[in-house]
Structure 1
């Protein structure tokens, strides 16, 4: 099953929804049926959910718009059951720019909330007694839909200001700290704050709401991953791709039978292969494609992938790190003077990181 389903694109940015989103729909249906709801209440709640996630898309597009002003490309926006995530080609190096990009998303939710606040009589609803408010909220109308949307955007604004990764507040905190200290130290402090908040969410969730436990786990591991990424990039800074690339690798010709690749997998340790002809890279032959076609009488060129990225041997290893982290099973040819000089993937990059960590400490 594909992890993400593309539902559209805006301004060249792919909008994806994670397959686990279906569990949110199922949860709404089951909850409504358990409470005695009918098809009308289920449909209304699903429409509200769609409205909330439309607000989340606008939130992420806010990040993307400000990032674009700093010449940073947004590759995709992924919708998850707990929110959304914009994937940038890189994050701004300037703390001030990172702060502005991070702040843009919550500001979008604040603007939507303010607009809805003055578009519908929110003050009137807040003045209702319990019975009137309950009847209003249970009335499936445009007014109640807009009120739910107002409340959701207000919550999104406040929630995203929590100073914990991966929320925008965590990145804003890191950016503010980085104005006075190194990015590494700022990230370490912001991660510690995130872990404290995760523990508070965990205990609150155990006492009151199990959903907070999920958020706590998400915050804890996201903060850990962010800190690890910054630490690793610091170790790679100033190093070139040629220092970490593999040079002893097997290359194949486009007209070679796929059986040759199968034999290399069985009798060796290599899994992926570069396809070369006349010193030019023609394609990449991935392990999965070899296995899937191992029982067919095919040539390498019929199986290889012809869309791939290249690195130069003099490129910064941080650039290679970004490519490898953002691409599943990355296997990137490295060129020198327009000829294949080596290849780099996650395995040998991690080995280089381990060696650098030993030298650093």
Structure 2
């Protein structure tokens, strides 16, 4: 995820820390110091937040390892101030698989709570969930026990994008199909989000942040699923652009600039004997122009690392890839020969046309 720091790997999965998480720690330390807390109390509070997010990582790892059983990889797990996010390569195709993947995360927290319970029960674990600085061991474990209980309870809410919403979608999808099931779960998620924001405005500002996250998470997932449904069984060949501009490796930067001005393309493919050997993106071209490299060959400034798609690839799969890229642009190949290009713009246009025809 952009603006995130790689902090390690677990079970082969990259763990990222979003920069806003550091703001949370800074806010926590500032609050403790402002209250006049001792140095030890500050360390306990920071340590507790780190332990809390360790539980969140294990929660997301539960989802990831269950998804791996069904042949679905996990690109990364990102820690955010409001929780964790496991980025799976794709949604499980079968509702039963999604059900098990959704349940695996909370199951980890149930297990952690069960492990902690024998240690905290004799200490009055049910007297409260506050972290007591005067009893680091008991207070720390008691609070951590309740954190896992609350994580289970929060994720059990049957509204997307919480795990409970994914469970609801999986159960509904068995009877209604994924698009309709997603619309219902996402609708509940947006309704819940509005409630969070309204309540948070008058009581707890943190709930406003959660409400915004839930609302846009539900909206984005619903839009993504509905779009993939519209794409159906179409392939890249149905939506690719066949009228595109190309360059040769020996062309100059000046010629590339003139070619860019002559059309509406933002990125230009560099061909060598009919094969795509590079891509000259607009930022790369602008950088070369700023350096006054007008006579430099395109081969010296182009990018040789670029993603391609096959003409027979599923359009829905390519759409899912494009969503993860800020400026998606794919040369389309057939038997290693260039046949067209596809980008976010014409994917959006194809979706717009399909939506109009489906009504």
TM-score for both structures, normalised by structure 1 = 0.92
Q: Is the contact between residue 9 and residue 15 of structure 1 (CA under 8 Å) also seen in structure 2?
A: yes
SS in structure 1 of the partner of residue 124 of structure 2: helix
Instruction: State yes or no: 1:93 paired with 2:93.
Output: yes
Instruction: State yes or no: 1:246 paired with 2:241.
Output: yes
Query: What's the offset of the Cα at 1:201?
Result: 1.6
**Worse-matched range after superposition: 62-71 or 265-274:** 265-274
Alignment of 1:184-333 (within 5 A): 184-296=179-291, 297=293, 298-333=296-331
The residue aligned with 2:346 is: 348
Instruction: State yes or no: 1:115 paired with 2:110.
Output: no
Q: Is the contact between residue 184 and residue 231 of structure 1 (CA under 8 Å) also seen in structure 2?
A: yes
Between the aligned partners of 1:200 and 1:232, the Cα distance in structure 2 is 27
* 5+ long unaligned stretches in structure 1: none
Q: Is the contact between residue 44 and residue 140 of structure 1 (CA under 8 Å) also seen in structure 2?
A: no
Between the aligned partners of 2:283 and 2:147, the Cα distance in structure 1 is 43
Q: Is the contact between residue 2 and residue 19 of structure 1 (CA under 8 Å) also seen in structure 2?
A: no
Q: Is the contact between residue 198 and residue 216 of structure 1 (CA under 8 Å) also seen in structure 2?
A: yes
Between the aligned partners of 1:127 and 1:214, the Cα distance in structure 2 is 28
Q: Assess, with a 3 A threshold, how the Cα gap between structure 1 residues 148 and 284 changes in structure 2: closer, same or farther.
A: farther
Query: What's the offset of the Cα at 1:141?
Result: 2.4
Q: Assess, with a 3 A threshold, how the Cα gap between structure 1 residues 256 and 125 changes in structure 2: closer, same or farther.
A: farther
**Number of positions where the alignment pairs a residue of Structure 1 with one of Structure 2:** 356
Between the aligned partners of 2:177 and 2:12, the Cα distance in structure 1 is 34
Q: Is the contact between residue 125 and residue 142 of structure 2 (CA under 8 Å) also seen in structure 1?
A: no
Between the aligned partners of 1:127 and 1:156, the Cα distance in structure 2 is 16
The residue aligned with 1:27 is: 27
Q: Assess, with a 3 A threshold, how the Cα gap between structure 1 residues 260 and 110 changes in structure 2: closer, same or farther.
A: farther
After superposition, the CA RMSD in angstroms is 2.1
Write out per-residue CA displacement over residues 301-337 of structure 1, whole angstroms, 9 at most, x where no aligned residue: 3333323222111111111111101223121111122
Write out per-residue CA displacement over residues 148-188 of structure 1, whole angstroms, 9 at most, x where no aligned residue: 22222221111111112221111111001111112111111
Alignment of 1:74-89 (within 5 A): 74-89=74-89
Between the aligned partners of 1:334 and 1:66, the Cα distance in structure 2 is 34
TM-score for both structures, normalised by structure 2 = 0.93
Query: What's the offset of the Cα at 1:212?
Result: 1.0
Q: Is the contact between residue 164 and residue 194 of structure 1 (CA under 8 Å) also seen in structure 2?
A: yes
Between the aligned partners of 1:276 and 1:6, the Cα distance in structure 2 is 36
